[in-house]
């Protein structure tokens, strides 16, 4: 039996406050046979099981999870139900054409509402708040990016879902320093991902899905009766084996070249007082971010805290996913400084939780959904930090492929596999260079200096 971590070991507020019994589910007790065997008890695996049952309620499904449901990114993310796809609208249009880009973005927006509806129907109190997304330009240099984002939506005929705010309107929405303008997306919202992932697991169990925790997949076999060979026994499947490990798929040799694990870091304040919120503004509770290269994302929780997420530990050689490296992450101080940079009035505010996690990045930033009907093996991965909603979209497509629905074949992310990353040590050197360059670019911009001379090269290498 695999040793199971405790939710308390991770430090995630979402897992600590999810209200679900943290006692691990039993491990797979021996050999078993089901219709569908799924590796991974996060959003991808759970949503795949959900949509498989929507297509065929009579399926027997078993999910095996190495730790516990929500151990990975599903229990450690920023709490966004993001209407954004992992690739921005301009790049989507350039790569796949306007019609496809529009369809993909509309699907992303529609899934936000579907997740909210499922929560309501299943009695999952996930604090769903469809407040939209607000992205700030916090320097004059960020204004062109704001305008380009709006123009990209407008060219797709989606300008009704967007609103450009000038500096005064942006500051009225959020009383942060250096607000030069903002872009509001009306779709999108925030959610308690711990309550969602644990609630979804319980909803599936009510429908007969068996979930085994503390069960590590050691090997995958393909063929007429594919199987997951695990630490608890062999789980055979009459119809399909589906791999839903996201960043943790890099532990499987076949996926290690196609995906890299990148770390992201989060800190959470204590609940703010009414007086503090008056100074912060942000009464709408939108998903909040700014146009920086190192990424930031902020969430207002249902109990009045501020979550601030940003860059994580540097990429580790060989796609190593050390939990110790996350705990020793030196970027918590960076986040504390960024929060008081946004709101100086919060200097000295108490932080009650801090955590970090890994997300999966494909070489071309495009997720992959694939099902080989001959080998009877399927997979879904590569959400680049947009997994709360994108995982559900991809899971629905994967379930459709297993069911033989041709309509699911037309999305660009339905493909054989993602392209390979460079081999080590080129991978390590290139990723570390881009991480360093993006940080230098943000530091120079914040100081009012010209961007470093290699900014163009870093953007070319590091942006989709």
Task: Identify the domain containing residue 447 by its residue range.
Answer: 426-462
Q: What is the pTM of this model?
A: 0.96
- The confidence score (pLDDT) of residue 406 equals 67
Looking at the structure of the chain, the number of domains it has is 1
CB 53 within 8 A of CB 36: no
Residue 441 lies in a domain: yes
Residue 106 lies in a domain: no
* Least confident interval from 114-123, 160-169, 354-363, 406-415: 406-415
Q: What is the β-pairing status of strands 133-137 and 181-185?
A: antiparallel
pLDDT (average), residues 393-414: 88
Residue 433 lies in a domain: yes
Q: Residue 419: which residues within 8 A CB-CB, separation 6 or more?
A: 258, 362, 363, 364
CB 366 within 8 A of CB 382: yes
Residue 28 pLDDT class (50, 70, 90 cuts):
very high
Residue 444 lies in a domain: yes
Residue 261, strand partner residues: 360
Residue 235, strand partner residues: 32, 228
Residue 221: how many CB atoms within 10 A of its CB? 16
Q: Residue 396: which residues within 8 A CB-CB, separation 6 or more?
A: 47, 51, 408
Q: How far apart are CA 185 and CA 191, in angstroms?
A: 16
Secondary structure element (H or E) that encloses residue 43, with its range: helix 43-55
- Please write the tens of the pLDDT for every residue from 431-442: 999 999 998 998
Q: How far apart are CA 55 and CA 53, in angstroms?
A: 5
Residue 76 lies in a domain: no
Residue 430 lies in a domain: yes
Mean pLDDT, the chain, integer: 94
Q: How far apart are CA 188 and CA 317, in angstroms?
A: 35
Residue 456 lies in a domain: yes
To 5 degrees, how large is the angle CA 193–CA 198–CA 200?
Answer: 95
- Would you list the DSSP string of 30-42? S-EEEEEEEE--S
Cis bond before residue 425 (omega within 30° of 0): yes
Residue 352 lies in a domain: no
- Please write the tens of the pLDDT for every residue from 39-88: 999 999 999 999 999 999 999 999 999 999 999 999 999 999 999 999 99
| 171 has pLDDT over 70 | yes
**Within 13 A of 333's CA, how many CA atoms are on the CB side?**
3
**Residue owning tokens 């009704």:** 160
pLDDT (average), residues 157-176: 97
């Amino acid at each position: 039996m695999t040793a199971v971590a405790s939710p308390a070991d991770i430090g995630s507020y979402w897992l600590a406050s999810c209200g679900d019994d943290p006692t691990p589910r039993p491990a797979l007790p021996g050999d078993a046979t089901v219709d569908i065997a799924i590796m991974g008890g996060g959003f991808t695996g759970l949503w795949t099981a959900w949509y498989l049952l929507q297509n065929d309620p009579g399926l027997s499904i078993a999910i095996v999870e190495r730790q516990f449901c929500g151990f990975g990114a599903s229990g450690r993310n920023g709490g966004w139900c993001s209407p954004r796809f992992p690739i921005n609208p301009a790049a989507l249009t350039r790569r796949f054409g306007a019609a496809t880009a529009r369809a993909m973005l509309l699907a992303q927006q529609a899934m936000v509402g579907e997740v909210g509806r499922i929560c309501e129907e299943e009695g999952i109190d996930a604090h769903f708040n469809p407040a939209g997304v607000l992205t700030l330009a916090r320097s004059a240099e960020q204004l062109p990016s704001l305008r380009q984002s709006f123009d990209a939506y407008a060219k797709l005929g989606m300008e009704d879902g967007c609103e450009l705010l000038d500096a005064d309107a942006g500051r009225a929405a959020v009383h942060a320093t250096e607000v030069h303008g903002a872009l509001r997306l009306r779709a999108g919202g925030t959610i308690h991902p711990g309550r969602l992932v644990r609630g979804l697991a319980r909803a599936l169990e009510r429908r007969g899905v068996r979930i085994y925790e503390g069960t590590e997949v050691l090997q995958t076999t393909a063929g007429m009766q594919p199987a997951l060979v695990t630490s608890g026994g062999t789980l055979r499947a009459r119809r399909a084996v589906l791999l839903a490990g996201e960043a943790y798929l890099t532990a499987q040799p076949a996926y290690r070249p196609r995906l890299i694990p990148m770390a992201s870091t989060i800190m959470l304040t204590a609940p703010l007082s009414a007086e503090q919120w008056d100074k912060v503004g942000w009464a709408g509770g939108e998903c909040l971010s700014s146009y920086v290269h190192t990424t930031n994302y902020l969430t207002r929780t249902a109990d009045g805290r501020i979550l601030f997420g940003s860059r994580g530990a540097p990429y580790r050689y060989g796609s190593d996913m050390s939990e110790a490296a996350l705990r020793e992450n030196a970027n918590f101080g960076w986040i504390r400084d960024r929060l008081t940079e946004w709101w100086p009035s919060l200097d000295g505010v108490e932080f009650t939780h801090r955590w970090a996690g890994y997300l999966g990045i494909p070489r071309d930033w495009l997720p992959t959904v694939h099902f080989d009907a001959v080998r009877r093996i399927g997979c879904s991965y590569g959400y680049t930090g947009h997994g709360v909603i994108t995982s559900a979209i991809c899971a629905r497509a994967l379930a459709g492929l297993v069911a033989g629905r041709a309509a699911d074949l037309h999305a660009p992310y339905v493909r054989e596999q993602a392209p390979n990353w460079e081999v080590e040590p080129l991978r390590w050197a290139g990723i570390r260079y881009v991480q360093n360059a993006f940080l230098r670019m943000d530091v120079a911009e914040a100081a009012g200096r010209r961007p470093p001379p290699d900014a163009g090269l870093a953007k070319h290498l590091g942006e989709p």
